[in-house]
Structure 1
Amino acid sequence: MAFIALGINHKTASVDVRERVAFTPEQLVEALQQLCRITPSREAAILSTCNRSELYLEQDHPSADEVLAWLASYHNLSLEELRACAYVHQDDDAVRHMMRVASGLDSMVLGEPQILGQMKSAYAVAREAGTVGPLLGRLFQATFSTAKTVRTDTAIGENPVSVAFAAVSLAKQIFSDLHRSQALLIGAGETITLVARHLHEQGVKRIVVANRTLERASILAEEFGAHAVLLADMPQELANSDIVISSTASQLPILGKGAVERALKLRRHKPIFMVDIAVPRDIEPEVGELDDVYLYTVDDLHEVVAENLKSRQGAAQAAEELVGAGVSDFMQRLRELAAVDVLRAYRQQAERLRDEELGKAQRMLQNGASAEDVLAQLARGLTNKLLHAPSVQMKKLSAEGRFDALAVAQELFALDEGSDKSAQ
């Protein structure tokens, strides 16, 4: 039995290679079944995200080369190209790797929570494909349990480390109840999409998306139940907005001091929280000089993110210790399971020998032998049969000079070295 974790990630492979090694959701079931059919893998699961593609396997004996060859062939890559950026972890190291990944310790953004959900999806797909058995199944459950402990017992994921989340977190500090706030989002790119998602999750009901093209703004607005407008309509929306967050590709400011002054008058100087995430800036720096305006730039947010990253890095050591404990606990339970299998086989053998001797004793009684003779023969026969195989093996071990194994046998049978002397 051997566990293997094999793959590539953002640390070892370029975006181009990661894209080529990625599995689409439609490919996964067929790929898993093919993987188990072509390679020596008895159990398998595949985790494929934008930052990593990893295979989690259980095999009789470690055989990573055949799996790498399959992976290269499946994605039409040269084996040399894949081998140059792939990593392979076995047994304890494979278990540790899976638990670190699920806990966000191996992510591009330390402590990010999405990876645990992605790993749970990988497990669900492998179960659907029929490629997860008892061993890999136990490993996944132990991995999820450890990741949950890391999330619960450390601050690894508490503080925001994305600019979008930091912007929303600052808004929460200024407005105690975001449910009553209206947000104006300028732009419709990836960062604004993340901002919209975070605001929506925080309960902001009124969100307006302003963009150069109404079509792009409408697509984003529809996702979060927001309202889409053109940039030209910003002045009217500005007066109703408590939160303004901007991130466009404009080379010149699109929101000036005069427009904000007019909005403040209409608002009767009710405060506006503004975040300019764009580089170059979307909001004129002079806007920050106005009373009742809280203006933050992307540099301000980076300071928040950097501080929060320090906090996460401090929690990472505690998280690593929890992962280490999770690995030790899982491997110990796995070794105990191996002992259970041996004990079960030994008990079955002993019960078979018992039944044989019991059958002989019953026949002796039927033939008229005395109960005393039958019991003596039963005890003698059962003792001889139980001791026969161990006696033969220990003599063989002694002849081969394997005295360490003899010492283990003495411990296994709980033999007191002085017992023979005391009996004499």
Structure 2
Amino acid sequence: MLISIAIDFHQADVATREHFHLSEERLTQLYRTARSEIVTEAALISTCNRTELYAWVDGDDPTLIDRAVRTLARRWMRTRAEGDQLLQAATRRVGIDAARHVVRIAAGLESQVLGDGQILGQLKAAYKRASRGHSAGPVLHRLFETALRAGKRVQTETSLTTGRNSIGAEAAITANQRFGNLENARCLLVGAGKTGARAAKQLHKLGARDLVIVNRTFETAQELAKFVGGRAAPFETRHVEAAMADVVIVATGSEVPVITTEGLARGREACAATGYALLLMDLSLPRNIDPAVAEQPGITLVDLDTLHQPILTAETMRRDAAPLAADICESEISSFMEWVANMPARDAIKPLRTALEDVARREVAFAAKDAGIAERTASRIVAKLLAGPMAALRRAVQRGEPLDAQAMMLLEMFSPAAAPAPRAVRPARTAAPKPAVVAEHVPPPPVAPPERRPSTVLSPEQFT
């Protein structure tokens, strides 16, 4: 059974999402410990607006599922108490509801910005991370492939992702609305990733001419600055650059604030800018601007929660495309759930498939003298041979018939593990020598001495 535990912007504010956010190190540890006897697969999606854990439980008993959810929550947060806090704030989904949610995320239907163009790349990155951690198995592989396919279809077949559709672009729009004109405003961008790049490009489109790009990798900052006609500055100068700016947009992947209260106060004092109007926009999770900076005079701090309202206005442009995008998602979800429902049929026929592929591969390789051709040809032959049996097993699943008998028969007939061990060859029979018959010792009968004939003596006269 597919399950999910989700913390997102619908039910949790930035501070709550920040508390349950997982660093790269913690995520690695989670992937090492998430799987168990009942949880066979796991994958985590983490963006600025959500952290969601998906898992496959080997069973559909409600008690088993509840135990799996609590176990995953504890391993997510390391302790039982923190795991219970997570479950109090999180949304649980099971079965088709969990599948539908992740597909809709990929399509941009569950984003803070409807039709967010970045979410598909973030989902793909999460899928690759789970694959590298060897925690995603066949079910989650299929789920993420389905979600990514749905997202691509929505992008190409609908207008949901047209126009401004990212947090970075919306932040630039909000800054322009507050200033009225960005031509004479100095704009500082801290972070040159996808979100930062979109914000920089949108600022440039809106007329910003004094753009400063700061990034940990100076070469990346230089590339983006060249593209938008701005200049790059070293990461160490970010507080001074922020003190001299009118608009600061921060979008990095740091786990700690990169704009601190003390650093900004010193920078403003050094530049004699204390008290001047400064708009700070934090697009990161965890937050990369210390919330305490809002206490300094002249500073306005906008975070993801504050940015939500102007985003709602922009969503109106894309709502007309949402029904068609939802239909695409439902089509892909139906395909995935059908695949899940047919898992017993595939498992039942797997021994037969393995045996047939092995025979076909060896025979074709013998004839073609090419292992590559043999592999491809064997797979096609077996697929055609098993089309009928597989269809029959799928119909049995749809009728609700148990496949135990069929599965057991196929396992006994074709599973290598179930094959009887070859009997030892018996040696050829040889005629056993007949035992010598030992006769009882009978003394031989007495032999009578030969009868002696009387000798005849010849007289000399008879001799001559």
TM-score normalised by the chain length of structure 2: 0.49
Give the AA of the match of 1:188: L
Preserved CA contact (<8 Å) 1:36 1:42:
yes
CA-CA distance at 1:113 after TM superposition = 1.8
- Quick one: structure 1 residues 251 and 309, their matched pair in 2 at CA, closer, same or farther if it must change by over 3 Å? farther
Give the AA of the match of 1:154: T
Structure with max Cα Rg: 2
Give the AA of the match of 1:29: T
Preserved CA contact (<8 Å) 1:197 1:224:
no
Give the AA of the match of 1:18: R
Q: Which structure 2 residues correspond to residues 112-131 of structure 1 after superposition, within 5 A?
A: 112-131=116-135
- Quick one: structure 1 residues 203 and 74, their matched pair in 2 at CA, closer, same or farther if it must change by over 3 Å? closer
Give the AA of the match of 2:344: A
Between the aligned partners of 1:304 and 1:347, the Cα distance in structure 2 is 56
Preserved CA contact (<8 Å) 1:10 1:108:
yes
Choose which of 132, 144, 166 in structure 1 pairs with 2:148.
144
Q: Which structure 2 residues correspond to residues 334-413 of structure 1 after superposition, within 5 A?
A: 334-344=340-350
Q: Name whichever structure is richer in helix by fraction.
A: 1
Between the aligned partners of 1:140 and 1:35, the Cα distance in structure 2 is 18
CA-CA distance at 1:29 after TM superposition = 2.3
- Structure 2 partner of 1:224: 224
- Structure 1 partner of 2:370: none
Between the aligned partners of 2:56 and 2:92, the Cα distance in structure 1 is 13
Between the aligned partners of 1:34 and 1:198, the Cα distance in structure 2 is 38
Asked whether 1:106 is paired with 2:106, we answer: no
CA-CA distance at 1:97 after TM superposition = 0.9
- Structure 1 partner of 2:92: 88
Between the aligned partners of 1:166 and 1:86, the Cα distance in structure 2 is 27
- Quick one: structure 1 residues 348 and 152, their matched pair in 2 at CA, closer, same or farther if it must change by over 3 Å? closer
- Structure 1 partner of 2:315: 309
- Structure 2 partner of 1:20: 19
Preserved CA contact (<8 Å) 2:161 2:318:
yes
Q: Which structure 2 residues correspond to residues 5-44 of structure 1 after superposition, within 5 A?
A: 5-37=4-36, 40-44=38-42
- Structure 2 partner of 1:68: 70
- Quick one: structure 1 residues 209 and 70, their matched pair in 2 at CA, closer, same or farther if it must change by over 3 Å? same
Superposed CA offset, 1:298-320 (max 9, x none): xxxx9997664212111111111
CA-CA distance at 1:96 after TM superposition = 0.5
List gaps (5 residues or longer) in structure 1: 170-181, 230-244, 255-279, 283-301, 350-403, 410-424
- Quick one: structure 1 residues 111 and 15, their matched pair in 2 at CA, closer, same or farther if it must change by over 3 Å? same
Between the aligned partners of 1:142 and 1:162, the Cα distance in structure 2 is 23
Preserved CA contact (<8 Å) 1:126 1:132:
yes
Alignment RMSD: 4.9
- Structure 1 partner of 2:210: 208
**Secondary structure of the structure 2 residue equivalent to 1:109:** coil
Preserved CA contact (<8 Å) 1:142 1:330:
yes
Between the aligned partners of 2:315 and 2:333, the Cα distance in structure 1 is 26
CA-CA distance at 1:14 after TM superposition = 2.8
CA-CA distance at 1:31 after TM superposition = 1.0
Between the aligned partners of 2:132 and 2:313, the Cα distance in structure 1 is 42
Between the aligned partners of 2:136 and 2:31, the Cα distance in structure 1 is 10
CA-CA distance at 1:131 after TM superposition = 1.1
Superposed CA offset, 1:74-119 (max 9, x none): 4255344222221121121111111011111111111112222111
- Structure 2 partner of 1:332: 338
- Quick one: structure 1 residues 316 and 64, their matched pair in 2 at CA, closer, same or farther if it must change by over 3 Å? farther
**Secondary structure of the structure 1 residue equivalent to 2:162:** coil
Between the aligned partners of 1:27 and 1:145, the Cα distance in structure 2 is 29
Give the AA of the match of 1:331: M
Preserved CA contact (<8 Å) 1:6 1:64:
no
Asked whether 1:186 is paired with 2:186, we answer: yes
CA-CA distance at 1:40 after TM superposition = 2.1
CA-CA distance at 1:52 after TM superposition = 1.3
Identity %: 27
Superposed CA offset, 1:294-343 (max 9, x none): xxxxxxxx999766421211111111111111111112233344323334
- Quick one: structure 1 residues 191 and 311, their matched pair in 2 at CA, closer, same or farther if it must change by over 3 Å? farther
Superposed CA offset, 1:238-290 (max 9, x none): xxxxxxx9647998789xxxxxxxxxxxxxxxxxxxxxxxxx9x9xxxxxxxx
- Quick one: structure 1 residues 166 and 116, their matched pair in 2 at CA, closer, same or farther if it must change by over 3 Å? closer
TM-score normalised by the chain length of structure 1: 0.53
- Structure 1 partner of 2:326: 320
Superposed CA offset, 1:320-378 (max 9, x none): 111111111112233344323334568999xxxxxxxxxxxxxxxxxxxxxxxxxxxxx
